[in-house]
Structure 1
Amino acid sequence: MQNFEYRIKHKSGVWLYMSAKLVSVNEENDQGHVLAIIRDITNQKKAEQELIKAKERAEKNDRLKSAFLANMSHEIRTPMNGIIGFATLLKDKNKTREQKAAFTDIIINKSHQLLSLINDILDISKIEAGELKITKLQCKVNEVIDNLYVFFSNNDKLKDGSVVLKTAKPLRDLTILTDVNRIEQVFTNLLSNAIKWSPNDGVVKISIKEIDQRCRFEVVDEGPGIPEDSIPKLFNKFYRVPGSPAGGTGLGLSIVKAIVEFHKGEIKVENRIEGGARFVISLPLGHPPEGPNESA
C-alpha cells in the first residue's frame, strides 16, 4: 500500500490538493490490479496552513511581548530613578529655593511620563480583553479642539515659539457621538507626536471638515515624514519607527487605532509631498448640525 499527496489544477484555474492511496488487489484470478483511492484534501490543507500561520503569529507576538516587557522594565526604571533622585535632593537643606523648584518640576514631569506608560499598558490590556469602556455622548467638535489647544499651551516647544500649533475649525459647529475623554486621548497622542517630530519654526495643524456625513480630522506636521516601509506597521502593537527618540511603549498608535474603530471610524496616515506626515481620521457625525455648510 502506498500513500502520497499531489496538486492538480482545476479547469477554473484553482489549485486543488489531492490524496491518493494505492492498494494492491490480490484476489483469486487477479492479474495484478491496483485499487486507487483519491480524495480532495484542499480544505484540510488550507486548515493546516492557517494553523501554521496562527502558530507563527503567536510566536511573533510572544517575542514582541518579551521584548516589550524587557523594554518596559527599563522605561519604568528611568522615570522612577529620576523621581527618587530628585526627591532625595529636595531634602538637602543646602539647596536654594530656585533649585528645589526646578527639582519639583522634574519630579512632576517624570511622574507624568510614568503615568503615561502605565496608562498605555492598562489600555492595551483592556483592548485585548475587549473591556475598553466607551461612553458615547453628543459632543461639539469645536469644544474638543479648544480643550486640546488649552492642554498644549504648556508644551515647551509651543511656549518658546519653536513650533506653532494652528487649528482650522468649521464655521458651523459639527457634532459627533463620542467618548470625549477617549477622543481627546487620540488627538493628544497624534499632536504630541507631530510636535515632537517638528523642526524649529515648524507648524503643526489640525483641521476639521464635513465630508459625506462624516467628520474628517487632519493632523499635519512638517517633520521628516515616516519611512515608507514603516507605514503599514505603524499601528501595530509594540512597533516603533526606527530612529524614534528613546522612551515610550510602542503602544500609542495601536491604542489610537482601536479607539477610532470603537467609534466606527477610520484612520490612515500618509507622507506629504511637501514634507511631513498627515494623519486622517474620519468619524460619523452625531445629529445633523444646523447652519451654513462652510469650513474655515
Structure 2
Amino acid sequence: MIDSKKNLFCRIGLLIFILILSFVFSISVYSFFESIFFEKLAVVMGVVTKDSRNLEIEIMNQLKFEHSKYASIGKGTLGKYGYNLDRFIFLKDRKKIIYISFLFSVLITSIFCIYMYISTRNKKKNAENLKNYLERINEGDYSLNLATDEDFSILSDELYKTVITLRELKEKAIQDKISLKDNIADISHQLKTPITAINIMSELIENNDSKDENKEYIYRLNKQAGRLETLTNSLLTISKLDAGTIKFKKDIVYIKDIIDLAIEPIMFLIEKKNIKLYIVGDNAIIKGDSYWLGEAFLNIIKNCIEHLEDNGEINLFIESNPIFTEVKIEDNGSGFLKEDLPHIFKRFYKGKNANKDSIGIGLSIAKSIIEKHNGEISVENKKEGGARFKIKFY
C-alpha cells in the first residue's frame, strides 16, 4: 500500500516536472526566435537609416552576416520610437504566445502520459502472463507460450531455460530418490532372510544346549541380530519417507489414542525400569495417520526411556488452540549435552550420553513423520534437569 502511494506521487511529480519543462522550453524557443527577429529588423532599419542607395542589395548582403555593423544603428533608431527587445513589436501577442506555449506543454505531457499508460499496461500484462506461467509450472505444466514484447521475450526465454534446467534437476533428483529407495529396500529384504535364519538357528541351539557359556554367546547373537533387524526396518522406513511413497491417511485422530498406540510396544521397558508416565491436558484431535504418528511418538518416548534411570518419570502435556496443537514430552533424566542439541535429529547421530546399543535413527524418523503431518519438533534441556521435546501440529 505504501509502495503504491509512493509510486503514484512519483508519477504525479514526474508529470508536473515534464509540464513545467515543456512550458519553459517553449518560452525559451519563442524568446530565442524573437531576439533573432529583432536583430534582423535592427539590421534592416540600420541600412535604411544609414544608406539610401541600393537598399535592396545592401539589406540582403547585411542579413547574411551573424553580426552586422548596421545592427547597433538600427537598434538606436528603434529605441527612439520605444521599441527594444523587452518591449518589442510582439508585446501585444505575448499572452497569446504564453497560451500557445502552455497548450504545447500540455500536448507534450499528454503524449508522454499516453505512452506511459500503454507501456505500463503492456508491462502489467506481460508480468501477469509470467505469473500465470509460473503458477502453471507449480502445477506441473512446463509448456511455454508467451506473446510478449522484446524485453519480456528475452526474460521469457531465460525463464524457460531456467525452468527446463530445474525440471531436469527435479526429475533426476526424484529418480535418484526412487533408485536409492529401491536399492535400500532390496538390501533390507536381502538382509531379512539371513537375519531370520540366524534367529531360528540360535533359538534351536538355545533350546538344545544347556551349557551356560554357550547360552551367553547365543544371547549376544540374538541381541545383535535384533539390532540388525531394527536397523534394516529403519532403513526401509527412511527410504520410503524420502521417496514420498508412503500415503499418509488424513483421519481425525485423538492425541491420547496416538500416545496409547506408541506406548503399547514399549510397555515392557516402562515396567522393567519402573518408569512413571503421566498424560496431562485436553484430548485434542488432529488430522493424520495414527499408525505413523504412533511410530513417531514411540521413537521419542523410547529415547526418553533410554536416558532415564530406574524409577524415572515421563510427562506428556497436551495443549491446543485455534492455531496449533502442542504436545510436550518431558523426562527427568540426564538430558542432552549442549554440543549434541543441534544434531539430535540428524540420521545416525549418537550423542555422548546415548545408549551404546542405540542406532541413532529413531528421532530422525520421528522428525520426518511429524513434518509430513504439517508439524514441527524441537528439543531443549529443562532448567531443573532432563529433556523436553516440543511437537506442534498446525
**Same fold? TM cut 0.5:** yes
**Which of 313, 321, 340 matches 1:230?**
340
How much has 1:80 moved relative to structure 2?
Answer: 8.1
- CA shift digits 1:232-288 (9 cap, x unpaired): 11111221112422223322111111111101101000000000000010013xxxx
The answer for unaligned runs of 5 or more in structure 2 is 1-183
* 1:124 lines up with 2:238 in the alignment: yes
How has the CA–CA distance of structure 1 residues 138 and 80 changed in structure 2, closer, same or farther, with 3 Å as cutoff?
same
Flag the structure with higher strand content: 1
Could you tell me whether the CA contact under 8 Å between 1:208 and 1:217 is conserved in 2? Answer: yes
- Residue in structure 2 matched with residue 192 of structure 1 by the alignment: 302
Fraction of identical pairs, as percent:
27
* 1:136 lines up with 2:250 in the alignment: yes
* 1:91 lines up with 2:208 in the alignment: yes
- Residue in structure 1 matched with residue 280 of structure 2 by the alignment: 168
How has the CA–CA distance of structure 1 residues 160 and 259 changed in structure 2, closer, same or farther, with 3 Å as cutoff?
closer
Amino acid across the alignment from 2:206: L
| SS of residue in 1 equivalent to 2:320 | strand
Aligned residues: 205
The answer for unaligned runs of 5 or more in structure 1 is 1-68, 285-296
Amino acid across the alignment from 1:130: G
Amino acid across the alignment from 1:139: V
- Show the 5 A alignment for 1:122-271: 122-155=236-269, 158-160=270-272, 162-170=274-282, 173-271=283-381
| SS of residue in 1 equivalent to 2:268 | coil
Could you tell me whether the CA contact under 8 Å between 1:215 and 1:283 is conserved in 2? Answer: yes
| SS of residue in 2 equivalent to 1:229 | coil
How has the CA–CA distance of structure 1 residues 107 and 239 changed in structure 2, closer, same or farther, with 3 Å as cutoff?
closer
Distance in 2 between residues matched to 1:79 and 1:163, nearest whole Å: 32
Could you tell me whether the CA contact under 8 Å between 1:87 and 1:103 is conserved in 2? Answer: no
How has the CA–CA distance of structure 1 residues 134 and 226 changed in structure 2, closer, same or farther, with 3 Å as cutoff?
same
How has the CA–CA distance of structure 1 residues 181 and 115 changed in structure 2, closer, same or farther, with 3 Å as cutoff?
farther
| SS of residue in 1 equivalent to 2:299 | helix
Could you tell me whether the CA contact under 8 Å between 2:199 and 2:222 is conserved in 1? Answer: no
Amino acid across the alignment from 1:91: N
Flag the structure with higher helix content: 2
How has the CA–CA distance of structure 1 residues 108 and 178 changed in structure 2, closer, same or farther, with 3 Å as cutoff?
farther
How much has 1:111 moved relative to structure 2?
Answer: 6.5
How has the CA–CA distance of structure 1 residues 111 and 215 changed in structure 2, closer, same or farther, with 3 Å as cutoff?
farther
- After TM superposition, the structure 1 stretch with the greater mean CA deviation from structure 2, 204-213 or 78-87, is 78-87
Could you tell me whether the CA contact under 8 Å between 1:134 and 1:179 is conserved in 2? Answer: yes
Distance in 2 between residues matched to 1:276 and 1:79, nearest whole Å: 38
How has the CA–CA distance of structure 1 residues 182 and 224 changed in structure 2, closer, same or farther, with 3 Å as cutoff?
same
Distance in 2 between residues matched to 1:239 and 1:248, nearest whole Å: 10
Amino acid across the alignment from 2:331: D
Distance in 1 between residues matched to 2:280 and 2:220, nearest whole Å: 34
Distance in 2 between residues matched to 1:107 and 1:204, nearest whole Å: 32
Distance in 1 between residues matched to 2:310 and 2:232, nearest whole Å: 30
Distance in 1 between residues matched to 2:197 and 2:279, nearest whole Å: 36
